[in-house]
Amino acid sequence: MCALDDKGRISDVRVMAALGWEPGQRVAFSVAHGVIVVDADEAGGQAVCGRGCLRLPAGLRRAVAIGLRERVLLAALIEPRRLVVHPMVHLDRWSMPVHTAVLGGEL
């Protein structure tokens, strides 16, 4: 998990290292199933910055309802070197059945 900064950047050294992404690594963005997908792509329009951060484009953030300074879940998929950025609303949806069951409700 990490929080976007006031410029829409994410930074997690462990995630970048797991993906093998160093400063200068070019990436391409897409949206699928309500998440932002980031792929290593030498023809990509953006690169990992010198401090290991990555700016999520505003249009993509809006498309999946991620605001500035919001926390997101980062999932590093080692093959094919893909990063998936999940909005917090997904965690709420995923955990609701478990919370309901714990509180004695139906699952």
Tens digits of residue pLDDT in 16-38? 999 999 999 999 999 999 999 99
Structural contact between residues 83 and 38, judged by C-beta atoms closer than 8 angstroms: yes
Q: What is the mean pLDDT of the chain?
A: 91
| Three-class secondary structure of residue 77 per DSSP | strand
What pLDDT does 98 receive?
Answer: 80
Rounded CA gap, 93 and 17, in Å? 29
Maximum distance among all Cα pairs of the chain, rounded to whole angstroms: 52
pTM, two decimals, is 0.86
37-60 pLDDT, tens digit each: 999 999 999 999 988 999 999 999
Query: CB-side exposure of 8: number of CA atoms within 13 Å?
Result: 12
What pLDDT does 106 receive?
Answer: 65
Q: Would you say residue 73 has pLDDT above 60? A: yes
Task: Please report the sign of the dihedral spanned by the C-alpha atoms of residue 92, residue 95, residue 101, residue 102.
Answer: negative
Q: Would you say residue 107 has pLDDT above 80? A: no
